[in-house]
Amino acid sequence: MTALAHCVVLAALVALSCGSPIAEAADGTVTVGIVTAQTGPLAAAGKFQMNGFQLAADAINKAGGAKVGGKSYDVALKVYDTRCSAAEGASVMQRLATIDKTPVVLGELCSPAAAAESPIAADFQMPLIITIATGPSITDQGNPYTFRVNANNTQLTKSLADYVAARNLSPLAFIAWNNDAGRGGLNGMRKELPKSIEVGYVGYFNVGEVDFSSHIANIRSSGAKAVMLLMDEEPGALAIKQIRDAGLTVDLVGTLAMGSNRFLDRLNAKYLNGMAQYNAFPPNLPTPRIKAFNEAYKARFGEESHGFAAQSYDGLHVAIEAMAKAGTVSDGKAIRDALAAISAEGVIGAIKFDGKGQASPPVYITQWCEDGTRKVVFPDQYKADCGGG
């Protein structure tokens, strides 16, 4: 978004939180395709993604709609549930291209589904904008019709490795999922960590396991200074509780899933105090763009905002701005070219795509405080006290 467009977005967010009247009727409607998980094990994450898309559509429409080629368009969303399935993703992408004929598609939670959708986007010259899936291969393949607003695994891992190195958390132990996500995260960390950080005990667990006692015993005997937990909310809460109840005083380092008020609800501040995790969007950072988004999100959904929602909010705004710059709501190639050249200041930060279609938004490291709030501890230019993370 340009500076002017960003001001309009902030104004729309404030209007949403205050319940302003709907704008006058538009000249038409532009329908954008949405692919996400609405059912299945990742439905909760899909809800945050959909909240972001819906908040963006509401903000654009309340601000008068999408201004493209001298006309004003209401923004509508055509949503399909892919259940994080590659086969389902490919199927609905075909439908969006041939039946719904949407000019652009946004979304996707899971990297395999996004990888299956990407070639179809190119086949039909229908840009695909990823807002959550993090697998580096999605953009590393260089598909000219695939873009990603959020940081990929390599970018996230690099920030976490820099944090570990800066604090000399060595030896560093790991407990990771015994799947592609866990092993991929561990291999990525090994690659990014400097030689000064010794990798000690490494333990894997299968989905559904609830007893981490053997891992805790091995970590204790290894003399690890810190433990990195490569897992999501449910096993993460169990592992942290068991580690602390066992009297292990190691530093804890987690993932994006462990840095929200929803995760605090699973434990309490006693267990989380001092734990750090990477974060794509600290919802309480006192910057105007984040503050306005968080207030609008709370007013609409009654809870703290979420990084998945912020990334998806920005994704839809970027798509609409590309249409405005291209002067069309139907020419996929022109919209793709506009996306490739766009320079935006979104809620999550600067959005500018490289030659592979990958943006490089800021990645933060947040740390839990003893009062149950969070602070930003890394990188230095984004540091914020307790309550600002």
Q: What is the dihedral of CA 159, 161, 164, 169, to 10 degrees?
A: 170
pTM of the model: 0.86
pLDDT digits 0-9 by tens, 218-266: 999 999 999 999 998 899 999 999 999 999 999 999 988 898 888 999 9
For the chain, give percent helix, strand, coil, nearest 5. Answer: 45, 20, 35
Q: Which domains does the chain have, with CATH numbers?
A: 3-151+285-352 (3.40.50.2300), 154-279+364-382 (3.40.50.2300)
Residue pair 275/245 in contact (Cβ under 8 Å)? The answer is no
Residue pair 357/147 in contact (Cβ under 8 Å)? The answer is yes
Residue pair 36/105 in contact (Cβ under 8 Å)? The answer is no
Residue pair 152/181 in contact (Cβ under 8 Å)? The answer is no
Cα 336 to Cα 39: distance, rounded to the nearest angstrom: 30
Residue pair 269/368 in contact (Cβ under 8 Å)? The answer is yes
pLDDT digits 0-9 by tens, 97-156: 999 999 999 999 999 999 999 999 999 999 999 999 998 999 999 999 999 999 998 999
**How does residue 19 score in pLDDT terms, banded at 50, 70 and 90?**
very low
Residue pair 107/133 in contact (Cβ under 8 Å)? The answer is no
pLDDT digits 0-9 by tens, 46-61: 999 999 999 999 999 9
Residue pair 357/139 in contact (Cβ under 8 Å)? The answer is yes
Cα 46 to Cα 205: distance, rounded to the nearest angstrom: 25
